[in-house]
Amino acid sequence: MKKFSILICFLIPLSFWAQYLLPNEEIIYSFDTKNGKRMSLVKDKTNKYIQYRFGTKNKIEIEFPKERTKESWKKFHYNSYWRGGGVQNAGMEIDNLQFKNNGFEYLLFRTYHAEGEIYSAGIIITDSKGKETRISGNYNTVKGCICDLQDTKMIEKEDIGLSF
């Protein structure tokens, strides 16, 4: 009975976050927000689809796109910028991934600035009138990198501008 209780205590926390990653998926990029929610960008391990998920431990509030098909890759737009040279050259790295859903534009970002060794992650949501809402990510919880999208060969780099 004691072993059973220990097993249950171990499995319960795993089941709360399990909805964010299915057995056939892997994380491209994820982080917890400063207000206790989680953003996860995942893909099928064989690149059958890509999907954005956002919500609490108990409930995914947004899942985009709903359909898990090869067409999902076309709904995302990627851009990045890298400048080396460290502090002397104001070195930086910026990665952006953008998509539109229900009249809102979502921009996922990850940045590094050599001056001050500043890292940041987050989401910028813009409504149809241009009003921005920023959701800051807790950089200590970041897993993966938007930059890994280049390795999939499923999404091309586009000039969508750079934001952070």
Which residue type occupies 54?
Answer: F
- What is the pLDDT at residue 27? 95
Contact assessment for residue 90 and residue 115, using Cβ atoms and an 8 Å cutoff = yes
Q: Which residue in the block uniquely carries the two structure tokens 């491209």? A: 28
Tens digit of pLDDT for each residue in 16-52? 444 678 999 999 999 999 999 999 999 999 999 999 9
- The DSSP code sequence of 119-152 is EEEEEEEE-TT--EEEEEB-GGG-EE-GGGHHHH
Summarize pLDDT for 58-100 with one digit per residue, the tens: 899 999 999 999 999 999 999 988 888 788 887 889 999 999 9
The closest of 127, 129, 80, 135 to 100, measured between CA atoms, is 127
Provide the token pair at 47: 């690149």
**pLDDT for residue 161:** 61
Tokens of 35: 């207000």
pTM tops 0.95:
no
CA distance 138 to 162: 20
